[in-house]
Amino acid sequence: MTNELKIPAHIGIIMDGNGRWAKKQGKPRIFGHKAGMDAIERTAIYAQKLGVKVLTVYAFSTENWTRPLDEVKFIMSLPIDFYSKFVPVLNRENIQIRMIGDRNGVPAATLKAIDRAAEDTKNNTGMILTFAMNYGGRAELLQAVKNIVKSGVEIDEITEQLISDNLTTSIFPENWRDPELIIRTSGELRLSNFLTWQSAYSELLFTDTLWPDFNEASLDMAIAEFSGRDRRFGGVKG
Ligand code: FPP
């Protein structure tokens, strides 16, 4: 174990526990999602201070459509309400906004708000904060396979690089596409279809903290744990 802190270039976060957080306070679930947005803001600002290059947050999965309609509608309205408040902060902090996921099915007003936030922050040169919206790792891979087949490429030309180039994370610079660290809050121990291809060598960190309670100290602890891990990528101990 080394004392030197290693900062992951790309961190993915599965933000879980908003509903339980709200319930603990006797409030409706949507109250937890609102508090979850504040947690995104403080985590993004701090991650960028630490030197993280890409922070991808799992905002809505391809499976989340089965939630009660009111809750789905509320989550889809969050970018609209929130970005007007959030974008000036991101511009002050030099953070860029992006989205990954399937745009089909996301309400037009939600897409418009996300696109506007991406446009308004596109000249920033700092960390990329990515919202995984209507995102599913299997759906993403399926789409990549379709694109590759449609392109008419020869079988021998299909490589891992080509697959990576056809995933939604190809919008990131090459070395930052795959998260080095994935954090899941609220004590659940699964990846739930998040960055399926890209997580092949990610370090996984599970914490009992509910997402709205996640803060600077939580990220410090996660990075300290990551720094102490021996990443061998299938090789032998050096
Ligand atoms: C998981 O908690 C949280 C989600 C599925 C949604 C997370 C979304 C946000 C924090 C904000 C969304 C942001 C945008 C831009 C749309 P849960 O509801 O599963 O909590 P529970 O497991 O305690 O019920």
- pLDDT band at residue 180 using 50, 70 and 90 as cut-offs: very high
Is the pLDDT reported for residue 3 higher than 90?
no
Of the listed ranges 83-87, 120-124, 212-216, the least confidently predicted one is 83-87
| Number of CB atoms found within 10 A of residue 236's CB | 5
Q: Catalytic pick from 3, 16, 123, 215?
A: 16
Reply yes or no on whether 64 is catalytic.
yes
- Binned at pLDDT 50, 70 and 90, residue 238 comes out as low
Task: Enumerate residues 6+ apart whose C-beta is below 8 A from 195.
Answer: 12, 56, 132, 137, 169, 178, 179, 182, 202
Mean pLDDT along residues 212-238: 90
pTM of the predicted protein model? 0.95
Q: How confident is the model at residue 200 (pLDDT cuts 50, 70, 90)?
A: very high
pLDDT of residue 159 exceeding 80, the answer is: yes
Annotation marks residue 94 as catalytic: no
Q: What is the pLDDT of residue 195?
A: 98
pLDDT of 231 above 90: no
pLDDT of residue 221: 98
Rounded to a whole number, what is the distance in angstroms from the first to the last CA of the chain?
13
Q: Which atom of ligand 1 is nearest to the CA of 21?
A: 23
Domain ranges in the chain?
A: 10-136+180-227
Structure tokens at 179: 């998260």
* CATH of span 10-136+180-227: 3.40.1180.10
Tell me, in angstroms, the distance from the centre of ligand 1 to residue 231's CA. 30
3-state secondary structure 163-230: HHHCCHHHHCCHHHCCCCEEEECCCCCCCCCCCCCCCCCCEEEECCCCHHHCCHHHHHHHHHHHHHCC
Catalytic annotation, pick one of 18, 38, 64, 123 = 64
Angle at 121 between CA 136 and CA 139, to 5 degrees: 10
Residue 85 has pLDDT above 90, yes or no: no
pLDDT, mean over the chain? 95
Q: Whose CA is nearest to atom 6 of ligand 1?
A: 59
Buried-state track 131-165, b at ≥16 Cβ within 10 A, e below 16: bbbbbbbebbeeebeeebeeeeeeeeeeeeeebbe
The closest residue, in CA terms, to atom 22 on ligand 1 is 17
Residues 98 and 128: beta-carbon distance below 8 Å: yes
Of 112 and 81, the one with more pLDDT: 112
The closest-lying atom of ligand 1 relative to the alpha carbon of residue 29 is 18
Q: pLDDT band at 237, cuts 50/70/90?
A: low
Q: How confident is the model at residue 1 (pLDDT cuts 50, 70, 90)?
A: very low
CA atoms of 229 and 238, how far apart (whole Å): 13
Q: Give me ligand 1 centre to Cα 191, in Å.
A: 14
Q: Is residue 45 over pLDDT 90?
A: yes
Q: Would you call 234 helix, strand, or coil by DSSP?
A: coil
214-222 contacts, C-beta under 8 A, 24 or more apart: 214/15, 214/39, 214/43, 214/185, 215/39, 215/42, 215/43, 216/42, 216/43, 216/46, 219/43, 219/46, 219/47, 219/50, 222/11, 222/181, 222/183
Side by side, the strands of the sheet bearing 10-14 are 96-100, 128-135, 54-61, 10-14, 181-184, 203-206
Which residues are near ligand 1 (CB < 6 Å)? 15-20, 29, 33, 36-37, 59-60, 64, 75, 78-79, 131, 186
Q: Quote the pLDDT of residue 2.
A: 47
pLDDT tier, 184 (very low <50, low <70, confident <90, very high otherwise): very high
